[in-house]
């Protein structure tokens, strides 16, 4: 069966599918999202309307004073990731569960390691005094201040560089490796000119249903 990725209706009349059975093994959060899409698709199918998802995103600046209350766990670097316990090989028979559960204390500790990827340092170049303080204080060395000549990219990047550096005798760029950033906020706390701020990205979504026949086929 073919599955419409937006409504999750299949080529079989009145049949909807999602999760692993439709898209193969994925994370549980994907299955939850599929459940929401399927609910919208089923409503649209029964009411003969077409669902349209409208999303709006926005950034919220978090002050230095308030950031500690929303920041990820301060002990992140001291608390390594733990693998869940597993059933011994000789006991992995039939449909026995191989990967076991954490005990409550370990589960809570691992849950607190979430880096909250919606939080990120945002740099404002017009306020930066090139003191390199944010680079020095970063515990994971994910920041690097480089001359603009060291930055390369496609036509879009080149246009941005030209727009911001025309007429400037010298120019620099702050590079951030998001895969190493732990959102500790030390760069924002260290900056003497508040050129670095921690911002949270959030979005709202609403489902609008338009009067239009959907039927049993993929649309």
Is residue 98 domain-shared with residue 173, that is, in the same domain? no
Specify if 215 maps to a domain: no
Across-strand partners of 146?
A: 173
Is residue 93 domain-shared with residue 158, that is, in the same domain? no
Q: What is the pLDDT of residues 163-217, one digit of tens each?
A: 888 877 788 999 999 999 999 999 999 999 999 999 999 999 888 888 754 454 4
For residue 215, the SS3 value is coil
Question: What's the domain range around 192?
Answer: 60-72+117-203
Work out the number of other CB atoms within 10 angstroms of the CB of residue 11. 12
pTM value > 0.85? no
Is residue 151 domain-shared with residue 193, that is, in the same domain? yes
Q: What is the spatial distance between Cα 188 and Cα 134, in angstroms, rounded to a whole number?
A: 7
Q: What is the pLDDT of residues 91-149, one digit of tens each?
A: 999 888 899 999 999 999 999 999 998 999 999 988 999 999 999 999 999 999 999 88
């Amino acid at each position: 069966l073919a599955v419409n990725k937006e409504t999750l209706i299949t080529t079989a009349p009145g049949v909807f599918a999602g999760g692993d059975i439709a898209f193969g093994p994925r994370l549980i959060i994907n299955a939850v999202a599929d459940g929401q899409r399927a609910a919208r698709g089923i409503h649209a199918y029964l009411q003969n309307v077409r669902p349209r998802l409208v999303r709006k995103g926005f950034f919220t600046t978090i002050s230095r004073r308030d950031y500690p209350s929303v920041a990820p766990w301060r002990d992140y670097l001291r608390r390594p990731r733990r693998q869940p316990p597993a059933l011994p090989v000789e006991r992995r028979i039939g449909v026995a569960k191989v990967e076991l559960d954490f005990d409550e204390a370990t589960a809570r500790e691992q849950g607190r390691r979430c880096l909250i990827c919606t939080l990120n340092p945002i740099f404002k170049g017009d306020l930066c005094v090139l003191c390199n303080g944010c680079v020095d204080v970063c515990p994971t060395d994910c920041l690097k201040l480089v001359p603009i000549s060291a930055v390369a990219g496609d036509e879009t990047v080149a246009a941005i560089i030209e727009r911001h550096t025309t007429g400037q005798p010298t120019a620099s760029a702050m590079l951030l490796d998001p895969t190493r950033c732990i959102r500790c906020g030390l760069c924002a706390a260290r900056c003497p000119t508040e050129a670095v701020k921690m911002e949270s990205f959030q979005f709202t979504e609403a489902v609008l249903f338009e009067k239009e026949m959907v039927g049993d086929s993929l649309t």
